[in-house]
Amino acid sequence: MKGSGKCSFAAGVALLAAGLCAAPQAAAQLLGGNLAPNVNVVNTPNVSIANTPGVSVLNPASAPVPVHEVSAVSRQPVVFSLLVGMSFGTQRAACSDYTVPTGMRLEIDHVSAASSVLFQGNTIQATYSTRNGFAINEYYLDFHDQAFDPTQPLFIADHSQLAFSDPGSTVELCAVLKSTQGSGSGGFTALRATFSGYLISGP
């Protein structure tokens, strides 16, 4: 019985020692299985990693890479209005222009326009154009008669519309009436429109 007890005690000690020796290795294998095999640290300031297997430092803090944030642009809100005047007895007016400032790109987000024609039943068609690169883009305004005063029709267009125009280019607003408006000398405002968006400067 005593010999059996010694054997059991010795076997227990041997088993405990084997477990203690095996535990760190098992833990290391488990941890290593959850890590990426290679880690690259790129341009990280104030980091010092030396003699670490599987870890390489590209461009340490002593030689940082110049970084330029291409998305860092200046967006300045802008609102401008254009009026198109016509002479009585005509249908088409010369286009009214807005010139985009040099060095800035225009982003149009919204257009609101109105036209008060003098005679009932005379409707209006209006477009505005922008220049983007070599392309001239034309946009139509969708007018609706408000039917508020039969003797003084009012046509309204209201658009959330994305358009761009290059630096130094012009935004042109033109209008055409369905029929000639009155007779005689003098003129009237056939169309007025307000554009809102941003002037953008950047790389």
- Among residues 161, 154, 160, which one has the least CA distance to residue 189? 154
pLDDT at 54: 60
Residue spans per domain, the chain: 2-58, 74-201
Share of the chain above pLDDT 70, in %: 58
SS (H, E, C) 107-141: EEEEEEEEEECCCCCCCEEEEEEEEECCEEEEEEE
Return the residue matching tokens 């222009």: 97
Check pLDDT > 70 for residue 62.
Answer: no
Band (pLDDT 50/70/90 cuts) for residue 118 is low
Whole-angstrom distance, CA of residue 185 vs CA of residue 166: 38
Check pLDDT > 50 for residue 144.
Answer: yes
Give the tokens for residue 201: 């400067």
Check pLDDT > 60 for residue 186.
Answer: yes
Residue 137 CB partners (closer than 8 Å, separation 6+) = 129, 130, 131, 163
pLDDT at 26: 43
Check pLDDT > 80 for residue 92.
Answer: no
**pLDDT tens string 17-38:** 555 455 444 444 444 445 555 6
Band (pLDDT 50/70/90 cuts) for residue 106 is very high
Q: What is the CATH number of domain 74-201?
A: 2.60.120
Stretch 140-149: mean pLDDT, rounded?
83
- Among residues 200, 178, 76, which one has the least CA distance to residue 132? 200
pLDDT at 185: 72
Mean pLDDT in the chain? Answer: 75
Q: At CA 44, angle to CA 39 and CA 45, rounded to 5?
A: 145
Share of the chain above pLDDT 90, in %: 35
